[in-house]
Structure 1
């Protein structure tokens, strides 16, 4: 009998990017329950059981999970994918006695200020940072520290409200843009560190980080869409030499230990500045942006989604399953049309037919409104390309993006 037979797994969040994990779990023979506030969420349509509750509403999700566990069938595991809700997941796990990270660890992972304070206490390399109490306080900090700095909401996600402060940025307006994106009305500022930024993804087993996910983040539009940080993709393998990669992985290990994750997943946003790695943020969840579902498996053949499904059910994960099986080039590039109303989309089939194209996904349709990007969710679509090496993967991805035209007209 399969070790998955008869088991029930709850996914908190049923968005499109969670769908590959939900489908994988069902293919394993699991009974899959999905919670989401949107009854039309793709994950809900693919699930065996459906709970209607906001992923960010811990109480509502707990109520629905308890009911399902009591009245329908016992829940054996809970996880999330491409949704920044580790606190909701941890609360359900704690309440139902399931495997998971401690609630206090999940809460710290969702509070950028508390996370940085813990890192500072434990000697984890991070940029200088400070809480910001008001626009006037921000102006004082800028006078004391100088520019550039990075302003961000303490408890937001997806790059919402994050801005690079330079001399031409109005600090009062920047503060207002940041605080409106914070559910708790809290803002912080930190030193801007120049240098290549890296996305990592690790599975932690018995306190040891295994980090097969390692990508260079692409910020070629950082000036075009200033002051907002608009990432337009990522590339694997990294251009960094082996010694630099190891220094980043070592810092991920130190940060995961400080955060308190000893069994689970950590997703790192890192920067290498003047040859030294720093932690920008560390999330206690599987990533979005197709990183863990597509890019990492294409790059090194490691299935972090399967590993997390097993951990969530209390099943073992072998270290060898987290070691790279091969290495090939992977490039993801986002599509940013001119702002306006979409009147036509051309070239999608042409892009799909190009060599090495693993994914083409458009997220807009004629009639939709495209606005000037202010966060990482503002693209009109993406392509993922694969090749024998990173340079050819980049070339293929850029060729596919250039083949697609999203025509817009002014509003």
Structure 2
């Protein structure tokens, strides 16, 4: 069979694609800067045993270093396809794929998608609906931009991911604080460096959904939409969602249409994309395009209702195939587990949730002893549960009931000490 290479991933959810590839008879080499972020997660030791071989000590976000390592690996064990689930590593992976002559999105498009401001300019030129936006290189420029856009505004890194350093600001002081945090973030972990550019967007009220697409030869094929349960401002962290989203047909069609137009404007020709959209007063508007499969355990949730394995599509695409999405039967719902307060995680009791009606899976990836806090970004999520139902209300009710049965035990930290997000657990 084939030899696939997975370059970094999300602990431990991303190793599900390794399990699937191995089950299909393929060899998988996992390439990482370090195994530490993966071993720090609950179940990490078992997860890193699933690849056929492991290569570490490589600066995986650096195109030159990754290309050299993969060329060396290719000489020893010919590589037939590259798997990419980690947002910050996509440009380096695309360049390596191009050098090896492997199927992948172009390096130019992949690099472009990592700069949200550049994408905004392309969408603007193409007339794709999106929030008004500005770029800033200093906190003072950010405040001036916010005054011009009008409050509230969303402040985020132009090259961010995982909701890290993303916030909603109502005042100049809040803008300055959020912008300074973005400007100070020059390292995201696992070799990923930040460019220190602030993107400000006018806040658009309305529900948020994502559209999951598979693009082959420039033709965009939707799996469907996922609705989003977000934490309250100022930190809009994704805490759950259902697939397919419960949307009127005309709204769903409008979302698919605006996302397809956005992908065309950004030059997407091949790959999975995860595009976030706000259903604002004037219709769907693009929040951002991510040039990868939706993260975390959401693909697992989708698998439960699609009757197919989305990871098989990723593998097929990496090997030069032309997979197509299938229709969903029923609805899946995913719900994140988070800490109720800052402190040290003493444990998570989830046995009662596992026995609940409609519960398909419960996954915990936070070890006791880890410092935790109420969710500010995706790093702060401690685990997930997945439910299924015939309808969205049924699946959502099962998820909420199961979530209520989970006990997250936290030992408070000394007053004034706040935990930092751990590295490498972003989805």
Instruction: Normalising by structure 1, report the TM-score.
Output: 0.91
Give 2:326's aligned residue: 323
Give 1:61's aligned residue: 66
Q: Is the 8 A contact 1:203 1:211 kept in 2?
A: yes
Following superposition, which runs of at least 4 residues in structure 1 exceed 4 angstroms of deviation? none
Task: Tell me how far 1:346 sits from its aligned partner.
Answer: 5.3
Aligned residues: 396
Deviations 1:89-125 (A, max 9, x none): 2111111111111101000011111111111122222
Give 1:93's aligned residue: 97
Give 2:8's aligned residue: 13
- Which of 297, 304, 308 aligns to 1:298? It is 304
TM alignment of 1:176-325, pairs within 5 A: 176-182=180-186, 183-219=194-230, 221-222=231-232, 226-292=233-299, 294-317=300-323, 319=324, 322-324=325-327
Higher relative contact order (CA 8 A, sep 6+): 2
1:210 and 1:343 map into 2 onto residues whose CA distance is: 42
Q: Is the 8 A contact 1:338 1:370 kept in 2?
A: no
Aligned-pair Cα RMSD in Å: 1.8
Instruction: Normalising by structure 2, report the TM-score.
Output: 0.88
Cα gap change, 1:375 to 1:99, in 2 (>3 Å): same
Task: Tell me how far 1:407 sits from its aligned partner.
Answer: 1.7
Cα gap change, 1:142 to 1:316, in 2 (>3 Å): closer
1:315 and 1:202 map into 2 onto residues whose CA distance is: 16
User: What SS does the aligned partner of 1:310 have?
Assistant: helix
Task: Tell me how far 1:301 sits from its aligned partner.
Answer: 2.6
2:345 and 2:278 map into 1 onto residues whose CA distance is: 39
Q: Unpaired segments of 5 or more residues in structure 1?
A: none
- Which of 330, 349, 364 aligns to 1:362? It is 364
Cα gap change, 1:168 to 1:185, in 2 (>3 Å): closer
Matched, 1:28 2:24: yes
Q: Unpaired segments of 5 or more residues in structure 2?
A: 39-43, 187-193, 414-427
Give 1:339's aligned residue: 341
Give 1:78's aligned residue: 82
Cα gap change, 1:288 to 1:28, in 2 (>3 Å): same
User: What SS does the aligned partner of 1:215 have?
Assistant: strand
Q: Is the 8 A contact 1:331 1:393 kept in 2?
A: yes
Q: Is the 8 A contact 1:18 1:81 kept in 2?
A: yes
Q: Is the 8 A contact 1:109 1:284 kept in 2?
A: yes
Q: Is the 8 A contact 1:21 1:81 kept in 2?
A: no
1:372 and 1:170 map into 2 onto residues whose CA distance is: 19
Q: Is the 8 A contact 1:83 1:288 kept in 2?
A: no
Cα gap change, 1:116 to 1:24, in 2 (>3 Å): same
Q: Is the 8 A contact 1:198 1:270 kept in 2?
A: yes
